[in-house]
Chain A
Amino acid sequence: MSNSLWTDALYRLKKNKLAVLGAAFLAFEMVFFFLVPLIWHLGYEVQDLEMTFAAPSISYWFGTDSLGRDLFSRVIFGGRISLTVGILASLVSAIVGVVYGSIAGFLGGKSDNLMMRIVDILYALPFIFLVIILMVYFGRNFILLFVALGLTQWLTMARIVRGQVLSLRHKEFIEAANSLGIRQREVVLKHLIPNTLGPVIVYLTLTVPSVILEEAFLSYLGLGIQAPLASWGTLIKEGVDVMDLAPWTLFFPAFFLSATLFSLNFLGDGLRDALDPKGARD
């Protein structure tokens, strides 16, 4: 079964240099972050109090921080955490959002109305309260952080998917499926959801950066990652405080965070153009 939509999209994506560059950088990061800790000689939590704020050198590639910890190792471990938080939370938001949105859109009428009003109400709640309540109630738990962040991100996803489903619902291929007597569940799973994936993927790449930033904010409040673990957000926060003394403590995590956010945004832009050739290009 050939899928011309996807091959076409891939072809268009490949022509977008920035998007390819972004994708390559992300792929490199993932491999790098998960392989390097296996061979690198310094742990992210090992302190050498006599070597605080050492400038970048051969033994400390990115220098050391205020407790003499190797920044190279910390940036890599921070990257693992930031990327994992970003990706997992986005997946949680995608799963919840797609299921909820497509059910609402497919059922239509009163159920759709009710479900979308619930989304509106949740929209009105400041996300940070929800996360704080979850964290305080269930304790400071690593996994819970992913879930909590994801749970605050699914609302927009649900709206996008519902809009898509509403417009697809009366298209000929769905009517055809209906007239063939295919069960409603099958229609949703096999025909509706795959056709909404374009916008979902695009939106996902934009969710990842915002989740990474939210995690940085939560860590600042003491609700996120706890020491000695560090995410890019907490590393940057520590770096800002001493940027005139030890600029490398700010530069390296900031560089990786912004490069990652740029890559994700370029990739997202590229995917949008590739999956929706009619829109966007003037």
Chain B
Amino acid sequence: MKIVFLTVYFLTLFCSSLFASPQVLNLGNGTEPRDLDPHTVTGIPEFQITQNLFEGLVGKDPKTLEPTPGVAESWKISKDGKTYTFKLRENAKWTNGEPITASDFIYSWKRLLDPLTASEYAYQGYYIKGGKDFNQGKLKDASRLGLKSADPYTLEVTLENPTPYFLSLLYHHSLYPVHQATVEKHGMRWTRPENIVSNGPFSLKKWKMNQVITLEKNPSYWDACSVKLEKVNFYAVEKSETEEKMFLTKKLHATATVPTEKIAPWTKDTSGVLKRHPYLGTYYYWINVNRAPMNNPLVRKALALAIDREKLVKYVVKGGQAPAESFTPPGTGGFHPQSHLPKDSSRVAEAKKLLTQAGFPDGKGLQPIEILYNTSESHKKIAEAIQQMWSENLGVQATLYNQEWKVFLDTQHSKNYMVSRAGWIADYNDPNTFLDMLTTGNGNNHAGWSNPAYDLLIEKAAKELNPKKRHEIFQKAEDILLEELPVIPLYIYTRIYLLSPDVQGWFENVEDVHPLKYVWMK
């Protein structure tokens, strides 16, 4: 025991002594995360932290985005592509020293699917055989899920359909393991620093509400020797202007975003700190399709057509983003959706016609449309521009209101809004990550929209293995979306942020995933 202890000690000493500069990374995280429970969170600010706090079966290579061994050191895929056998590494441990076994994953995935957990991301477990039925209460017996373990270090997962992207899906936070005893003992408070037990390269040290979340290198992590950072601070700074100032005074090494008005001046900067690259994500507006007058598809379409996306992108968003003509960003998993929306010049006329058909000529008789957004200058500007476009082009009045992130997420979830700002970032590089969340009853479908034909298409796509045929199915799904418009796509994201040249091992990629395990300070 003593020898083991000493080896660990020397190893840590050896690892850390290699670097002269302090291995502390300070990141702007945009906003205060709603929680750190990987099964209940949905946002990017939460994911930035949970992906370093926990580790799933596989990791992700920051350069190629290919799956790398995580808790599973190897895996075998059956010929029909439906059965995955994972060999778990025996030296993977929880922060309390207990080994991570297959039963931890079985418990965690059951928890994700359990209707009582009410996870908005439960559908990430639908790939597992019986997952959907279990989540919807049709299957009561959890032992009939496609999860088996022959021994503590072997996990056999049977899928509903052969899913080519299943491995990369495993990097998503909804499929991370959680520690059963801790969750059961502390309930809602299990993610507090004094209670949490995690298994990632970093452990939670401090959580100061609305200020900072501090992670520390986890010495009991199986690959601790390759983790170079000693400490990571995630600052909850909502104002991008403040973030920029903190970056300039070297209090932050990377920002979450760049103030819209500062993008142009930063582009002229030659030091290369401004990072700008394509990002698989869509900025859009949710429409609550069950609330009048938005329950009328004609009104929805008129509103969608009356927005001049080119102008919005060029003069308001200003970061070189592309106007969104479809919900799925072009190029996601090789899929290039076609849009059947009329060409720009005739759009407004078409919108006016539709609104008249709906019984509101020139917006007369239509109640004001309420636009909800989470507090931020850039969301506000976009909403103001759209408010003006609706008023000018259609005579439709809109009112704006903003809410703080946590309240905003709750309002969306409880569908207590009319139109709400949203952004969706790919969880894996496949169109399915955008399109399956709009299926009936999906936890992330905040529009309350339901279309059986659409559901069928998504189900069919899941079973289709031929990429070309699969994309044709997705195209049909996109066509339904753009006809019914439970979402109004506005623009395709471009990732823009500031990064200090001192940060090494950080790679720009379309999913904007930066496992801090590989990052170090120069």
Contact = CB atoms under 8 A, between A and B. Distances in A.
Interface of A: 45-47, 49-50, 52-53, 66-68, 140, 222, 226-228, 238, 240-242, 245-246
B259 A241 contact: yes
Given A45-B388, A226-B400, 4 more contacts: A49-B311, A49-B385, A67-B385, A226-B401
B259 A227 contact: no
B403 interface: yes
A52 B399 contact: no
Contacts of B385: 47, 49, 67
**Which one of A222, A245, A246 has the greatest number of beta carbons of chain B within 10 Å?**
A222
Contacts of A50: 315
B315 A49 contact: yes
Contacts of A67: 316, 381, 384-385, 388
10 contacts: A45-B388, A47-B388, A49-B311, A49-B315, A49-B316, A49-B385, A50-B315, A67-B381, A67-B385, A222-B402
Contacts of A246: 261
A242 B402 contact: no
B104 interface: no
**Which one of B315, B387, B401, B402 has the greatest number of beta carbons of chain A within 10 Å?**
B315
B400 A227 contact: yes
B508 interface: no
B414 to A, nearest CB: 15
B473 interface: no
A52 B402 contact: no
A97 B265 CA distance: 52
B241 interface: yes
Interface in B34-49: none
Contact of A245 (B261, B381, B383, B387): B261
B402 A66 contact: no
Contact-residue size bin, chain B (C-beta under 8 Å from the other chain):
20 to 34
B384 A140 contact: no
B260 to A, nearest CB: 8
Contacts of B401: 140, 222, 226
B contact face: mostly helix, strand, loop, or mixed: helix
A227 to B, nearest CB: 5
B148 interface: no
Nearest to A228: B384
Interface of B: 239, 241, 259-262, 265, 311, 314-316, 375, 377, 380-381, 383-385, 387-388, 391, 399-403
B372 to A, nearest CB: 10
A68 B311 CA distance: 12
A236 to B, nearest CB: 13
A67 B239 CA distance: 19
A242 B261 contact: yes
Given A49-B315, A222-B375, A222-B401, A227 B261 contact: no
Contacts of B259: 241-242
B426 to A, nearest CB: 30
A66 B241 contact: no
Contact of B377 (A45, A52, A241): A241
A222 B261 contact: no
Contacts of A245: 261-262, 265
A222 to B, nearest CB: 4
Nearest to B314: A49
A246 B261 CA distance: 10
Contacts of A68: 315
A228 B388 contact: yes
Contacts of B262: 245
Contacts of B387: 227-228
A245 B400 CA distance: 26
Contacts of B383: 227
Contacts of A66: 260-261, 381
Nearest to B400: A227
B295 to A, nearest CB: 22
Contacts of A240: 241
A231 to B, nearest CB: 15
A241 B239 CA distance: 9
Contacts of A47: 384-385, 388
Nearest to B383: A227
A246 B388 CA distance: 22
A203 to B, nearest CB: 34
Given A50-B315, A52-B315, A222-B375, A227 B384 contact: yes
Contact of B241 (A46, A53, A228, A241): A241
B387 to A, nearest CB: 7
A224 to B, nearest CB: 11
Nearest to A47: B388
A58 B401 CA distance: 34
Instruction: Across the A-B interface, give the 8 residue pairs with the lowest CB-CB distance, nearest first.
Output: A49-B315, A222-B402, A47-B388, A241-B241, A227-B400, A242-B261, A227-B384, A49-B311
Given A45-B388, A245-B261, A227 B315 contact: no
A47 B316 CA distance: 11
